[in-house]
Amino acid sequence: MLRLRSIVKLGQIAIATTIRHAFGRRISPDWDAHFETGIRFVRHQFTVAMAQNDISRGRLLFDSVQPETDDVYDVNESPVAGIPGRWYEPIQQSSDAVLLYFHGGGYTFHGGVSKRFAAMLAHHTSARLFALEYRLTPEHPHPAQAEDAMAAWDYLVSEVPAQRIVIIGDSAGGHMALMLLLALRAQNKDQPALCIGLCPWTDIGDRGASLRVNDQFDLVQGWMALQFGMWLDPDDAYGRDALSPISHDFAGLAPMYLQAGGREVLRDMIIEFTQKQRAQGADVMLDLWPDMPHVFQAYDSLTVSSTAALKRIRTAVDNRVMRQTSLPPLANITTVESNI
């Protein structure tokens, strides 16, 4: 029933969007009807899912229909005993790196879209990838996710040298990756070779004009980000500063490579995080694709920007783990440079 409901809604959104485009009414002049339909549909699914009294039902609704590209990923999947997660191993493996992947979804959702994202990253980096299936909010608020992230790190580093590990996460997973760097420092543990944040959530509170002005473009809305923050720390037991990467100093920690979309609600806080960390001496680089929404990497071959972003991820991983060379700025993209 949920799947039928979602299919009907997708059809309604597609028809309405096509009609609007026929009359020149686009949310963005450079997005076609197909792309805009996907944005509007995912936004709708998030909105309805988060309004459910039972979040488990909301997750089922959100996952009932997931638009995806035609890209095929030559990756084998296998579960892991003793720790919640799965290995994604590319059939054509050529990288010495091992990726520790934290999925997005506001710490609340985890479904088919995240599993496909993991397979996509393993395929495009040609590297083994371990995808952690961490506990979700609101049932399991902080520090559950931080504990699960550290357990995954300990598991991985028992098998692979830290200098070969790349931590990577999208959205809330990017937040998780950044917070793990801080936790590793606090526990005097080795840092990874590189930390990659894809549209990372850098402040669990209200920060930046884009959190509202980009609502019209994005599949995630500003109010959703704030709700996810309340579910992460429902009683304000830890506080916004403690749980927001932007409030911490990352100088001396692993190099960070970030990507963001110019039309996503988290844009301003990601830019501000980058600027603040550079001022404090952290090694961080941000690539900003001005035409893209949140977690645009998932569009893969569908757009020029997502294709370029995935290639940059591969280059960043290879440069840091295999060649120890720098990542040069990308032409025609807003880049805040570092020594990565």
The confidence score (pLDDT) of residue 67 equals: 87
Chain centroid to CA 312: how far? Answer: 15
Segment 288-307, tens digit of pLDDT:
999 999 999 999 999 999 99
Element (DSSP H or E) covering residue 195? strand 194-198
> Is the pLDDT at 72 greater than 50, yes or no?
yes
Residue 334 — pLDDT band, cuts 50, 70, 90? low
- All domains of the chain in start order, with CATH: 2-64 (no CATH), 75-336 (3.40.50.1820)
pLDDT at 336: 53
Q: What pLDDT is recorded for position 1?
A: 84
Residue 335 has what pLDDT?
62
State how far Cα 4 lies from the chain centre. 28
pTM (2 d.p.): 0.95
Query: In whole angstroms, what is the distance from residue 267 CA to residue 217 CA?
Result: 12
**Cα–Cα distance for residue pair 329/340, rounded to 1 Å:** 10
| Pairing outcome for strands 256-261 and 194-198 | parallel
Nearest to 102 by CA among 35, 181, 49: 181
Measure the CA–CA gap between 219 and 39, rounded to whole angstroms: 5
Average pLDDT over residues 273-279: 95
Which segments of the chain does DSSP mark as H helices, in order?
Answer: 2-22, 33-50, 55-64, 112-125, 144-157, 172-186, 210-213, 222-232, 240-243, 267-279, 304-318
pLDDT tens for residues 1-48?
889 999 999 999 999 999 999 998 999 889 999 999 999 999 999 999
Residue by residue, DSSP assigns 116-166 as HHHHHHHHHHTSEEEEE----TTTS-TTHHHHHHHHHHHHHHTTS-GGGEE
Mean pLDDT (the chain, rounded): 94
Write out pLDDT tens, residues 95-148.
999 999 999 999 999 989 999 999 999 999 999 999 999 999 999 999 999 999
pLDDT number for residue 161: 97
CA separation for the pair 63, 67 (Å, rounded): 10
pLDDT at 295: 98
Dihedral angle computed from the Cα positions of residues 340, 188, 168 and 240, in that order, rounded to the nearest 10 degrees = -110
322: pLDDT confidence band, cut at 50, 70 and 90?
confident
Please say if the pLDDT value at position 331 is more than 60.
Answer: no
340 band by pLDDT with thresholds 50, 70 and 90: very low
Residue 66: predicted pLDDT: 87
User: For the chain, what is the radius of gyration of the CA atoms?
Assistant: 19
Q: Is the model's pLDDT at 326 over the cut of 70?
A: no
Supply the pLDDT for residue 325.
64
Whether the pLDDT of residue 338 is over 50: the answer is no
DSSP state of 2: H
The percent of residues in the chain predicted with pLDDT above 70, rounded, is: 95
> According to the model, what pLDDT value does residue 327 have?
74
CA atoms within 13 A on the CB side of 310: 23
pLDDT of 242 higher than 80: yes
304 Cβ contact list (under 8 Å, min separation 6):
none
